[in-house]
Structure 1
Amino acid sequence: MTAETKAYVSLLGVAFFWGTSFAVSKIGLKSLPPMYLAILRFSIASIIFYALLRKNYYGYKIRQKDKPLLWFLGVLGISSYFYVQYTGLSLTTTVNTAIIIATSPIFTALLSSLLFRQERLSLNKLLGILMGFTGIFLIFAGGTGVSFGSETLRGDLLILCNSVAWAFFTVMGKRLVDAYDPFVVIAHINIYGTITMLPLAFSRTFLNLLMSIGLETWLAALYLALTCSVFGYYMWYRGVRVLGASRTAVFNYVNPLFAVTIGILFLKEPWNLFTLVGGAAILLGVYVASLKGGQVALIKNKS
């Protein structure tokens, strides 16, 4: 199995775990507010990351000049990311959120090609990204309509900021994963991001809630930490290193596809023709974006 094939398989695993995170998060949110659940999840993940770093990468050095970028990515992709997302969710609809977040691969491709000059913006990538976005739109808006307007404007703008932030998180991390082991990079990012959230953990409210939550909430937080944070974030950056930012970003479209499928199969949620056509468009879009042969380069890498 080639490195690229392994990356594709791993990213499908990431998409599955991130797709299930919505249902698992609902379990945790029964007992904890969103930010407190995020603090618990990433605190557990950071402990695991630190233990693995000590065991497998003891003595591995990060250059001092790269640490500010690691801290910035920790704030961008961990602490502020979830704060902005949860706040935006409370001010807009789930349909709007799903569609706006689906713009992230578009921003990733543009940033990687135009601003950071890391990759070529090819016809295949553009077609794949647009097909994936169309699939998301059909699944979440097909038959129901979209409610963009003044009532949801604040929330929509926050979710749009979230989408752009994830694109920057993906693209800006490429220089680091090219220079260091991706696990070391994502471990430091998680630990730094968690440290920035810790002041909230010392509030009396959080400590009281932590003492009262049951086993179900702890298991939900552990699942999110192990699969979505440790495995998910590591494999995401490994995909960026092997496949590039644009092709990795397209797998963002598969996350909600898994979420919708799980909802239909296990939660008996409704589905229609738009769901089937949208799912097919997502899978076809991921395939087209991953193609190499016959690419038409629109912007060439200067390096």
Structure 2
Amino acid sequence: MNKYQTLMDVALTALAPIVWGSTYIVTTELLPDNLPLLASVIRALGAGLILLMFCKIRPTGMWWGKIAVLGLLNIGLFFYCLFAAAYYLPGGLAALVMSIQPLIVMGLGAIFFQNKLSLTHILSAVVGVSGISLLVLNSAVELNWWGVLFGLIGTCSMALGILLTKHWGRPQDMSLLGFTGWQLTLGGLMLLPVALWYEDFPEALTLLNISGYAYLSLVGGVFGYFVWFRGIEKLNPVTTSFLGFLSSVSACLLGYVILGQSFTQLQLVGSIAIIVSVYMARPQAPKQPSVPMTAPTTSSQR
């Protein structure tokens, strides 16, 4: 693969977590209060149905089950655990627990898919998790083991989803739009009854509410997940998982620029550490085999 094409794939995939980092601001500033699961359903199911409008192909045979599993791991179960962890833990600690995803991707990949463990990737994960801790944690942190458990389940869910998406690929007759759309749709449908059980529909929606939900579906859902699943196809799954660190950087920077929240020197150091970890985990160009030197041919040897 061309080095510049790889860098373009990394940059394009990185846009997904950067966009997802804006979810916090959109949720707090534009959406009705205390309805996070409903927002997740609208983002996933709305984006999925929009994508399926442009793709008339349905899964066949075993692919119904495979895409359902991917929808559960990448969307339904992950979203539920994400918000459950945030309910039991401060947001910073929840982000820190879920930041160990690259380590889980490496571990599960080595156990189930015989992927090689890389010392560089392990060091990158340590640097990245350290950066997350500087970025999102404060001195007043209360540990709730239910929150930690939900965070770990959600992290394992997304990690396994990344690995299976890479391992299974997608149906030959299905475009990436359709593959993304079906995962979002099935994952959203799995999350829908949970959201209806725990939350109520708002009595009325304002124009700001509608614009917020539209942003989550179109930008966070359609665009974000399309480039994310494209990145899983193009890149090493470990590299893809490291790009998820950028979501926390994006959220903190947007909070600083738009909401006027504080951004300390330690948070700056944490942001730099995260960027360094992503750089360390970048795909490495394969080494060119060395060409053995041959003795020059003399006229008598021709």
**TM-score interval, normalised by the smaller of the two chains:** 0.7 to 0.9
Cα shift at 1:105: 1.5
1:23 aligns to what? 25
C-alpha distance 114-78 of structure 1, shift in aligned 2 (>3 A): same
Aligned-partner Cα distance in 2 for 1:286–1:257? 12
- C-alpha RMSD of the superposition: 2.5
Task: Please say if 1:113 is aligned against 2:110.
Answer: yes
When normalised by structure 1's length, the TM-score is: 0.84
Cα shift at 1:120: 2.6
Task: Please say if 1:274 is aligned against 2:270.
Answer: no
1:301 aligns to what? none
Cα shift at 1:84: 2.1
Cα shift at 1:39: 2.1
Q: Which moved more, 1:256-265 or 1:5-14?
A: 5-14
Q: Which amino acid in structure 1 is aligned with residue 176 of structure 2?
A: P
Cα shift at 1:256: 0.5
Q: Which amino acid in structure 2 is aligned with residue 128 of structure 1?
A: S
Which of the two has greater helix per residue? 1
C-alpha distance 164-271 of structure 1, shift in aligned 2 (>3 A): same
Gap regions ≥5 residues in structure 1: 55-59, 296-303
Aligned-partner Cα distance in 1 for 2:149–2:33? 28
Q: In structure 1, the residue corresponding to 2:22 is in which secondary structure? A: helix
Aligned-partner Cα distance in 1 for 2:60–2:267? 48
1:219 pairs with 198, 201, 211, which one?
Answer: 211
2:290 aligns to what? none
Aligned-partner Cα distance in 2 for 1:80–1:29? 22
Contact 2:12 2:227 in 1 (8 A): yes
C-alpha distance after superposition, 1:142-174 (max 9, x if no partner) = xx336354xx11112111211111111111111
Aligned-partner Cα distance in 2 for 1:200–1:263? 30
Q: Which amino acid in structure 2 is aligned with residue 249 of structure 1?
A: S
C-alpha distance 50-140 of structure 1, shift in aligned 2 (>3 A): same
Cα shift at 1:44: 1.7
Q: Which amino acid in structure 2 is aligned with residue 126 of structure 1?
A: I
Q: Which amino acid in structure 1 is aligned with residue 168 of structure 2?
A: L
2:124 pairs with 124, 128, 142, which one?
Answer: 128
1:85 aligns to what? 82
1:298 aligns to what? none
Cα shift at 1:31: 4.6
When normalised by structure 2's length, the TM-score is: 0.85
1:57 aligns to what? none
Q: In structure 1, the residue corresponding to 2:21 is in which secondary structure? A: helix
- Give the share of equivalent positions with the same residue, in percent: 21
Aligned-partner Cα distance in 1 for 2:212–2:166? 30
